[in-house]
Structure 1
Amino acid sequence: MLTALANPTRFLALSGRMLPWVAGAAALLLAVGLWLVFFSVPDDYQQGATVRIMYIHVPAAWLSLFLYAMMAGSAIGTLVWRHPLADVAQKAAAPIGAAFTFLCLVTGSIWGKPMWGTWWVWDARLTSELVLLLIYLGIIGLWRAIEEPSSAARAAAIMTLVGVINLPIVKFSVDWWNTLHQPASVLRLGGSTIDPSMLWPLLVMAAGFTLLAVTLHLAGMRTEILRRRVRSLSLLEAQQRERVPVTPTVSAAKALR
């Protein structure tokens, strides 16, 4: 399957058929999730209605880590196996991951203001998540700074793998340091500590956001493939123009100038 998808033409055909279904499923799950959040989830006994920010904040935080992990896998595919679409997948995922990381930080600040009394604290989890956003932006900037795609792909892959060290820091910061964030309450060995009335809407929202990220990623990969094809055709056309012999009429015109 992966070998077949290594062909950009096959990938474009398959992703074109998948996109409407994935986008529709994402829209459906997000609609159901939002309905549950506003009409089914009870207010928290301490946080009140502000707990509803969790249903955007937590999926965004999960996806900020997941997309970077996927970029790291694509980076290995670029450097080791030289998969034709690995660097395309990595480049398309970077702005999506940066957007979810930014959304996580913004919603965290909005949630933190009534809970902690401030918009920002240099908490270990907040700081490491901010570092993750800066890494995302650095990778995006590196892609834009190098014009030749293969050179940019290798440089971005190396930078991505170096930045992987921040992922366990983000994940385990609440366990390693005394932070304002609570420890893991959903994905933990002893089982979730969240009441099912709040857990299931959270999982529905997480699934919807994940499918939204998949939709954006497939669309981004398709755009990048087409952009590279246009670039290749433009370069080929420029080379052909340089090889066209100069006609006598053109030579005479140049001589008269």
Structure 2
Amino acid sequence: MLNWLRLNWLSWQWFHQWTSPQKFYGISLTLARVFAFLGLIGLATGWVWGLVFAPEDYLQGNSYRIIFVHVPSASASMAVYLSMAILAVISLVWRIKLADMVARQCVTVGMALTALALLSGAIWGKPTWGTYWVWDARLTSMLIQFFLFVGLWAIHNAIDEQKLADKAAAILVLVGVVNLPIIKFSVEWWNTLHQPATIRITQETTMAMEMLIPLLLSMFATYLCVAGLVIYRTRLEILYRERKTRWAQDELAQWEKA
């Protein structure tokens, strides 16, 4: 029993050590570069494969190719919001500053991804449904997610007190997390124009492998690019929030010399 408690204590100490802003800043640059490099290569490969070499869809023709942009951006935007919800719990329960810093930089990235998903979906909707926009359950819930990101961005920019802004944003994130299952299952719960999920985990997909592989590659690469971008932006957030500490001042001085 004592050994188990000691192991848990050491694990917590290790976890808490590596979640300090200074420690994260020290190791994060390499991670950001690796994720961005692999993500950009994968994204270029997936897009060229999907947009140029993948076969036409027998129903939608070439218009379906927008899914290689639309699906990864929509999926990544939901993943970013879910990550923010997890970070909100970590921040509110364990008071880890790094969680607030990462969550803050997720906001603009998630907002951009959601906007891209809505825009690409509108482009897809015109030849498919005959209009750029319908008040479909999937589209409406995705629009709500965009407004949630905008609200989070407004909170961080309107409240000068950093701790208060972080707490208010964390609460809003947790309130809005109920929208994620609505986005995910809206096509199953309601009669909607939006097509069902392209990729199914529990069922066999009807998508040809020549289309599925570049789509999965584009999705995975998008996740890597998002991770790299969030990590790099978090480094800048750390320097801004820790600018009064000695180590951050030394780092900023090195930037000025460079």
Over the aligned positions, Cα root-mean-square deviation in angstroms equals 1.2
Amino acid at match of 1:196: M
Contact kept, 8 Å, 2:21 with 2:98, in 1: the verdict is yes
Aligned runs of 1:185-204 on 2, under 5 Å?
Answer: 185-204=198-217
Structure 2 unaligned blocks of 5 or more: 1-13, 246-258
Match of 2:134 in 1: 121
Quote the offset at 1:188 in angstroms: 3.5
Amino acid at match of 1:26: G
Match of 2:61 among 30, 41, 48: 48
Question: Per chain length, whose mean CA-contact separation is higher, i.e. which structure has more relative contact order (CA < 8 Å, sep 6+)?
Answer: 2
Task: After superposition, give the CA deviation of every residue in 1:12-56 in whole Å (9 maximum; x if it has no partner).
Answer: 111012222111101110121122113320011111111110000
Quote the offset at 1:208 in angstroms: 1.1
SS at match of 1:94: helix
Quote the offset at 1:193 in angstroms: 2.1
Match of 1:216 in 2: 229
1:9 aligns with 2:22: yes
Match of 2:178 in 1: 165
Distance 2:35 2:15 in 1: 19
Aligned runs of 1:1-257 on 2, under 5 Å?
Answer: 2-230=15-243, 232=244
Task: After superposition, give the CA deviation of every residue in 1:76-129 in whole Å (9 maximum; x if it has no partner).
Answer: 011101112111111110111111000000000001001110010000000000
Q: How many residues of Structure 1 are paired with residues of Structure 2 in the alignment?
A: 232
Quote the offset at 1:2 in angstroms: 3.4
Please identify the structure whose Cα radius of gyration is greater. 1
Structure 1 unaligned blocks of 5 or more: 234-257
Distance 1:2 1:195 in 2: 43
**Runs of 4+ that moved beyond 2 A:** 1-5
Distance 1:73 1:190 in 2: 28
SS at match of 1:181: coil
Amino acid at match of 1:153: D
Distance 1:74 1:96 in 2: 15
Amino acid at match of 1:81: W
Distance 1:51 1:184 in 2: 14
| TM-score normalised by length of structure 2 | 0.87
